Amino acid sequence: MTTHSTDPIVAIATAPGRGGIGVVRISGRDLGALIGRLFSSPLTPRHAHYLPFNDAAGNAIDAGIALFFKGPNSYTGEDVLELQGHGGPAVLRRLQERCIELGHDLGLRHAEPGEFTQRAFLNDRLDLAQAEAVADLIDASSEAAARSAMASLSGAFSAHVNALGDRIVHLRMLVEATLDFPEEEIDFLEKYQARETLTGIQDDLRALTRQARQGMILREGLHVVLAGQPNVGKSSLLNALAGDDIAIVTPIAGTTRDKVIQQIHIQGVPIHIVDTAGLRDTDDTVESIGIARSWAEIEKADVIIHLQDARSRSDALDVAITSRLPARTPVLEVLNKTDLLDRLPGANDLSSVGSGQVGSQDSDTPGDHGTHRASSQPAIAISAKTGAGLDVLRQKLLDIAGWNPGTESPWLARERHLHALQRADEHLAAAAEYASHNDQVLDLFAEELRLTHDALCSITGQFTSDDLLGEIFSSFCIGK
Ligand code: GDP
């Protein structure tokens, strides 16, 4: 994408497919000429005009609402025209092409993904964290994630980042002033309580990082693979975990048609579950492609649930499955169908892989597991049928995700933001180290403060490379 292009752009802004209405959106510095060609009379900004949308021969392609936003008071900060017609793909495509036809000599072209929002960013309508929140709000799969994305979009996250940045700038100004007037450079750190201020900033930065980490979990969720032999209850477990939650299937590039990924939510945290029902040797070409994709998903998993029948765990097939799982990924051994056991499994029964059949001495209940077991990989006893043990499993998944319901997650965050916060933390630590040398290295202290500020500014996009902008906006949908 040409990052700073100012050509007028057009796109169908509503989702592909059929809907009650559909919107074609145009943005450009001055859309007056184009509007004059589209309609016989001028449009009053921010007024709904019901008008025919005609083709070159003067026949109506559709009739609908034209809405004009005069820049800079628009989404992009430029002139924006929205044509709301009937939401059919053919109608909208014809409408879009008619606009291109009429605006061709004005430079009107199809918008790149995210180009409207990118312009909003470049024209200071949104900062970068807010612009990212636009995409996150659209992608949000749970109410909790949508709420947090909206908070980010309205600037809550940016406000905290900026407030921290202001405090750093203030401290830095004091140091720089001291450096400029060396005769006053007497006990600067003491005089301005610089160390205490720095510690306060460090504490607040860490609190912000904790919240951002929670926000990232809410955005990214956890990728879980459900591995196990046929009939151990994988589908039943998926349904039981989903409960009333309507599973929204998130299409992941390349797997859209396989639908191997289901999404459920636990406390609003998206859990993407890959069901590996197809994992077996096969001569069938089509099936083997599907299986290869399942294994590819397994490679990307954050955690693997190895589901087994509690009555026959760790048989040869389970051992074979275990041996193929990537060693670096945590595996949760889960024993299902405990309702069919004569007695509930005890601690020894639940110890890690390969401990064989159920049926030894003690009388721990499934709910007790994990609290007093020596094994590093204690199994979790459940019944997908009765729901026993599912809360423990859910909690375990949230633990692995790092989810802490006690910590508020007021906004969504991305890995990029976390890295920036970590960088800021490292520079603050370096500044603190210099501060421990009293006033001897104030220039280095000031430099670390500057670098901390730069790291924070990269979140809101004050200093951001074109490459990064391209990367961020190209992952948006067209028309946004
Ligand atoms: P999958 O092939 O691994 O997906 O297994 P399914 O979920 O299709 O389950 C296989 C069979 O086991 C079905 O008849 C289920 O009703 C049954 N089943 C699954 N979980 C349980 C359980 O916890 N208890 C009992 N009694 N039956 C279960």
Domain of residue 63, CATH code: 3.30.1360.120
- Residue 338, SS3 per DSSP: helix
Q: Do residues 107 and 175 both lie within one domain?
A: no
Same domain, 122 and 156: no
pLDDT at 430: 97
Shared-domain flag, residues 91 and 214? no
Residue 388 resides in a domain: yes
Q: Is the CB of 395 under 6 A from ligand 1?
A: no
Q: With respect to residue 236, please indicate whether it lies within any of the assigned structural domains.
A: yes
Question: 59 CB contacts (<8 Å, ≥6 apart)?
Answer: none
Q: Which of 75, 101, 126 is the endpoint of a domain?
A: 126
The type of residue at 283 is D
Same domain, 110 and 163: no
Residue 432, in any domain of the structure: yes
| Predicted pLDDT at 371 | 32
Show the domain range for 145. Answer: 128-461
SS3 78: coil
Final residue belonging to a domain, choices 106, 126, 146: 126
DSSP one-letter code for 36: H
Q: Measured from the CB, is residue 385 less than 6 Å from ligand 1?
A: yes
Atom 22 (ligand 1) nearest CA: 337
* Residues across the chain: 480
**Domain tally, the chain:** 2
Helix and strand numbers (H, E) in the chain are 16, 12
Both 121 and 135 in one domain: the answer is no
Q: Are residues 146 and 49 in the same domain?
A: no
- Least confident range of 39-48, 298-307, 338-347: 338-347
Kindly report, residue by residue over 313-347, the tens digit of the pLDDT: 777 878 888 888 888 889 999 999 999 987 766 66
Task: Let me know: does 85 contact 95? Beta carbons within 8 Å.
Answer: yes
Same domain for 325 and 405: yes
The residue nearest atom 24 of ligand 1, judged by CA position, is 337
Q: Are 46 and 142 within one domain?
A: no
What b/e sequence results for 207-220 when a residue is b if at least 16 CB atoms lie within 10 Å of its CB, and e otherwise? ebbebbbbbbbbbb
Strands 109-110 and 79-87, bridge-based pairing:
unpaired
Tell me the pLDDT of the chain averaged across its residues: 84
Assess whether 317 and 413 both reside in one domain: yes
Q: Is the dihedral of CA 283, 288, 294, 296 positive or negative?
A: positive
The residue contributing the CA closest to ligand 1 atom 26 is 337
| Rounded distance between C-alpha atoms, residue 255 and residue 257, angstroms | 6
> Is 50 exceeded by the pLDDT of residue 359?
no
Residues 208 and 341 in one domain: yes
User: Residue 300: inside a domain, yes or no?
Assistant: yes
- pLDDT tens digit string along 142-191? 888 898 999 999 999 999 999 999 999 999 988 888 877 766 556 777 77
Same structural domain for residues 60 and 183? no
Q: Which atom of ligand 1 sits closest to the CA of residue 307?
A: 3
Domain boundary among 78, 104, 126: 126
Query: Domain holding 385: CATH number?
Result: 3.40.50.300
480, part of any domain? no
Task: Tell me: do 180 and 73 sit in the same domain.
Answer: no
- Tell me the average pLDDT across 62-69: 98
Does some domain include residue 477?
Answer: no
Does residue 472 form part of some domain?
no
Q: Kindly state whether residue 473 falls inside one of the protein's structural domains.
A: no
Q: Which pLDDT band, with edges at 50, 70 and 90, does 277 fall under?
A: low
* Burial of 230: CB neighbours in 10 Å, binned 0-12, 13-18, 19+: exposed
pTM for this model (two decimals): 0.77
Distance 233 CA to ligand 1 centre (A): 4
